[in-house]
Structure 1
Amino acid sequence: MWKTVEKILKEKGISVYKLSKMTDIPDNTLRNYRLKKSDPSFTNACKIADALNVKLDDLRERK
């Protein structure tokens, strides 16, 4: 999921720090998602999708 989030962040010119402020998800938690130390909960995935104005399904990485 995070590869897709990073792509959208880059397209929209949003930093991880700004995403943290938009979602009320701690910056450190977002960085852990980025480093694949943990996966976002459903609630946090929804917050990220809402902040980026995309559908939750758009964040899925299909294999």
Structure 2
Amino acid sequence: MLWQKVDKLLKENKMSINQLATKMGLSKNNRTMYYLRDGKIKKPSFELMCKIADALDVSLDYFRKDKY
């Protein structure tokens, strides 16, 4: 569910996963975003989520589950 929201924002911003990683300050060899996409990261850290939200210019609330 998380990756679907990230992917939607990537498409809306016409941004690739590599561009997102660069904007987040991750090195070219860092596989974090691919691990997230492939479901290898089940519970991303707060720090990672903050970097993703900042890079995509959205609130962290955007990534919360639809039901509380």
The count of aligned residue pairs is: 63
Structure holding more helix per residue: 1
Q: Which runs of 4+ in 1 moved over 3 A?
A: none
TM-score (structure 2 length as normaliser): 0.82
Question: Sequence identity, in percent?
Answer: 41
Structure 2, unpaired ranges of 5+: none
Structure 1, unpaired ranges of 5+: none
Alignment partners' CA distance in 2, 1:48 and 1:34: 13
Larger Rg: 2
1 or 2 for the larger relative contact order (CA 8 Å, sep ≥6)?
1
TM-score (structure 1 length as normaliser): 0.88
Alignment partners' CA distance in 2, 1:2 and 1:60: 12
